[in-house]
Amino acid sequence: MRLIRKLYNWTLGIAAHRHARWGLGGVAFIESSVFPLPPDLVLIPMCIAERRKAFVYAAICTLGSVLGGIFAYGIGYFLYDTIGVKIIDFYKLHEQFARFRDLYNQHGAWIVLAGGFTPIPYKLITIASGVAQMNLAAFVLFSVIGRASRFFLVAGLLWKFGAPIKDFIDKYLGLLTILFLALLIGGFIAIKYIL
């Protein structure tokens, strides 16, 4: 837990750096296609460090995530057989991806909307959207709604409760880290066993 505490304090320290916004946008972009960790890990400390900019950070996170989603959509649409399949295989979700693709043809828009808000790995949804050749405009619309809902909810809570949230996180960082990891792993397990 000492390492997590150091990482948390370090992230808080750099959250006010002049290039922190670019880092947040970059993490949000790559999380939508290949990176396993969600951008909330950067968004939350940045909102805590500069509470008045919480909604700006949520907008940056949303924009980066949706642009990354479009990039991953392109991987699924044009490059699934060469690049997309390697990303799915890396996460050992190939079998689930096949079943997911079948569901996708019936409920694609709802899956994008729900996936943008939940801990289900978003990269699976973005790549599947391209493979299923979902209407790009609908994909972008539902991605914006889902991702913005998630990131603006987080930012709104941190903006509203500011210092008490920081104190709560400081006090319960270990427990919150375990809970966060459980949700992240739960998202992968949900994909693996439910689909």
CB 12 within 8 A of CB 45: yes
Q: Given this model, what pLDDT does residue 168 score?
A: 72
Q: Given this model, what pLDDT does residue 38 score?
A: 77
Closest CA to 88 of 161, 194, 191, 193: 191
Tokens of 70: 């479009």
What φ, ψ does residue 50 adopt, rounded to 5°?
Answer: -135, 80
Closest CA to 11 of 23, 29, 28, 26: 23
Q: Given this model, what pLDDT does residue 139 score?
A: 92
| pTM listed for this prediction | 0.76
Q: Number of C-alpha atoms within 13 angstroms, CB side, residue 67? A: 13
Tokens of 150: 């998630």
Tokens of 156: 């709104």
Among 45-49, 80-84, 171-175, whose mean pLDDT is lowest?
171-175
Q: Given this model, what pLDDT does residue 78 score?
A: 93
CB 95 within 8 A of CB 88: no
Q: Given this model, what pLDDT does residue 1 score?
A: 56
Rounded to an integer, the average pLDDT of 36-52 is: 82
Residue that has been written with the tokens 């670019």 in this structure: 22
CA pair distance 158, 54, nearest whole angstrom: 7
**pLDDT tens by residue, 134-157:** 899 999 999 999 899 989 988 998
Bigger pLDDT: 166 vs 50: 50
In which band, very low, low, confident or very high, does the pLDDT at 194 lie, cut at 50, 70 and 90? low
CB 101 within 8 A of CB 108: no
CB 33 within 8 A of CB 67: no
